Amino acid sequence: MLPTMSRPLLLLLFLALASPALASNDEEPPPELREVRAEPVPELPVVEAPLDPVHELLGQAANPTLPEELAQARFNELVALGQSALPSLASVYRSPSSSELEVWVAARAMGRIGGEGAARTLMTGLESPSIVARLGSVSGLSLLKDKETAPALEKALFDRAATVRSSAADALAALGTRKSSLALSDALNIPANFKNGRSVFVRHHIVVALGEIGSIGGIDALVSVLDEEEEELRLASIHSLTQITGMSFRPTGSGPDAPTSQAELQSWKNWWSNRRVGTTSD
């Protein structure tokens, strides 16, 4: 062990070692310096920090060069770590230095693991400036299937990114909370879901989600779509109306994907008009 030295002696040692003039001085150094110079430099062991198994598995699962089956196997191992993996997953998910694939995999893994901590992290992620993080949040929450997360997903229906809005509609459809039909109905006709006067794909996802949820609260929005020019959207609306009500006004012999007819569209509108009057009078 090096002897304890005062600050003046340390300074003298530094000057003696750093200055060529002092180093070449013929004078004999003081005993303190001779003792320091004579002492051998100890060999210090190199200690490497242990690698976090969560980061290691996550890095492999998010490695685009790894064969898909191996990446999936690493992902399954990651999920098998359970709740203990959540702190590291949340750290990777939030870090701006993480790659987009790492963020996505971390969000999906948290969704698979579940729990209050995972739900809280994913719901907070819906406010991220990163579209990949927000998409990952929606995807992870969809896997969680926790009805308490429905309000957060309903808010995502109004996200600035169309892909996030459509994914939120899909997630709400999988969650199946009937009250969500109100938020879906409100989101159906927001200006962001139109481009050059025509629907963007988000509206189709919302129409399908309303049918999957099956709440009478979505009927008004679905009937309003029957007046639109886009045949694909009208047909999706009729399918959803049939899912909710169990009724059909399809012409005899027409398959589910047959084009809509004016008679069919009008029958739905008449039925709903009469139903609303009856419901109000009740």
Least confident range from 5-19, 70-84, 173-187, 225-239: namely 5-19
> Confidence class of residue 270 from pLDDT cuts 50, 70 and 90?
very high
pLDDT in tens, 44-84: 666 555 678 999 999 999 999 999 999 999 999 999 999 99
Does the pLDDT of residue 109 top 60, yes or no? yes
Does the pLDDT of residue 23 top 60, yes or no? no
Percent of the chain with pLDDT over 70: 80
The more confident residue out of 36 and 282 is 36
Does the pLDDT of residue 39 top 80, yes or no? no
> Confidence class of residue 280 from pLDDT cuts 50, 70 and 90?
very low
Nearest to 154 by CA among 177, 131, 133, 136: 177
pLDDT of res. 13:
46
Least confident range from 52-56, 115-119, 232-236: namely 52-56
pLDDT in tens, 134-165: 999 999 999 999 999 999 999 999 999 999 99
> Confidence class of residue 254 from pLDDT cuts 50, 70 and 90?
confident
pLDDT of res. 9:
47
Task: Report, as an integer, the average pLDDT of 243-248.
Answer: 95
pLDDT of res. 1:
45
Task: Provide the whole-model pTM.
Answer: 0.78
Q: Which of 203-207, 227-231, 253-257 is most confident?
A: 203-207
Nearest to 140 by CA among 109, 100, 164, 167: 109
Between CA 19 and CA 29, with CA 23 as vertex, the angle to 5 degrees is 120
Task: Report, as an integer, the average pLDDT of 200-227.
Answer: 96
Does the pLDDT of residue 245 top 90, yes or no? yes
Does the pLDDT of residue 14 top 70, yes or no? no
